[in-house]
Amino acid sequence: MYSLAKEKIKIVLFEGIHPSAVECLHKSGYTNVVTYAKALEGAELIEALKDAHIIGIRSRTRITKEVLDQAPKLMAIGCFCIGTNQVDLEETLARAIPVFNAPYSNTRSVAELVIAEMIMLMRGIPEKNYVCHEGGWLKSANGSHEVRGKTLGIIGYGHIGTQVSILAESFGMNVVYYDTETKLALGNSEPLDLHRLLEVSDIVTLHVPEDASTKNLMSRENLNRMKKGAVLLNASRGTVVDLQALADLIESKHLAGAAIDVFPVEPKSNQDEFITPLRNFRNVILTPHIGGSTMEAQENIAVEVAVKLVKYSDNGSTITAVNFPEVSLPVNPDSHRILHIHHNVPGILRTMNNLVSNYDMNIDAQYLQTSGDIGYVVLDVKSTEQDAEALYKEMQHVDGTIRCRLLF
């Protein structure tokens, strides 16, 4: 495909993405932006995407194979959040559609919520707050503890986990952590195996991705391993905790409480009923998936993802794409740039170079990166516009080509 004029590239944003994303796109010349305040599904979603070139979503919009089948012009997807499990990454890769997200922009927001909730739980605030709202007065120090001197166990020592670790130590807490990869300990934190961490921690907080290895990570068996009177926090993914088992252990008073922000099944809108076995407990904090939902985080996310989409559309850069070969590209206004995405099979680069040799042109730069079954070649050539277009048309017909784009 030829690169369109920026004002002709249609960008559709769903789920009330922060206005700073639209501002960023407009400043970059992308003025054809359509926004929706909520997630769409079914026929409504397909209708909204049928002529979209770029889309932006959050966690509720599902981009499946069936949806992609009805979006033939789609060339990039921005997930204005951390997770990308709402997108069929294999299918988007097969169609040469890079997917971008914002893995770090709401790190601080999640960490602050976790710290606040662990203090609230250790002080017994949820129950005391409930009693006050009911007209009661539960003035007692029983079951109320400082976090200073307590042991915090962090499962998943990545960007959020390490932020929680630093903040917790500033409160005088002892920090231990578990991660499937070897991670450098920050401050005085110590690595432990999972079972030992569960046994010694007064508070356990989860910061892991959603994949096969983390599904029901906090099973009934592992919840039983937790120290009696401990509390559990989950602001990672809803499938990580067996919520019925958690409810049973809180009911039996083996655990003193929990704070849960993510759930295996969440309401599609604010009007739908929220159902969980934890609803009736006064010592459980339930929040509607708002760990990263601060105005600061949403603005940071909006700008971060919008910039990534602009860079890909403007010059083909794919750095931090979650499903695509990553290439960081300079601006080269004196050349014509061709983007060639193809099946990763031998001989394609040789074929492309042979095509170039048939024209009176110089190769200013050539970039190649592969990822699994996909190869991505970026070719900058110095030539006439007519020769560049002719080369582009020939490259479209190279065996194994998935998508070819002439940028400028």
Q: Residue 210 catalytic?
A: no
Structure tokens at 336: 């014509």
> Which of 237, 336, 337, 340 is an active site residue?
237
Q: What is the rounded distance in angstroms from the CA atom of residue 183 to the CA atom of residue 275?
A: 37
Q: What is the rounded distance in angstroms from the CA atom of residue 232 to the CA atom of residue 155?
A: 11
Q: What is the rounded distance in angstroms from the CA atom of residue 316 to the CA atom of residue 338?
A: 9
Q: Residue 289 catalytic?
A: yes
Q: What is the rounded distance in angstroms from the CA atom of residue 262 to the CA atom of residue 236?
A: 7
CB-side neighbour CA atoms (13 Å) of 293? 13
> Which of 23, 169, 210, 266 is an active site residue?
266
Structure tokens at 254: 């083996």
Kind and range of the H or E element at 234?
strand 230-234
3-class DSSP state for residue 296? helix
Q: What is the rounded distance in angstroms from the CA atom of residue 330 to the CA atom of residue 376?
A: 16
Structure tokens at 37: 């305040």
Helical axes 19-27 vs 295-315, angle rounded to 10°: 30
Q: Residue 350 catalytic?
A: no
Q: Residue 361 burial by CB count (10 A; 0-12/13-18/19+): exposed, middle or buried? A: middle
DSSP letters for 110-169: HHHHHHHHHHHHHTTHHHHHHHHHTT------TT---STTPEEEEE--SHHHHHHHHHHH
3-class DSSP state for residue 338? strand
Closest residue by Cα to residue 281 from 119, 112, 121: 121
> Which of 220, 289, 299, 403 is an active site residue?
289
Q: Which residues are catalytic?
A: 237, 266, 289
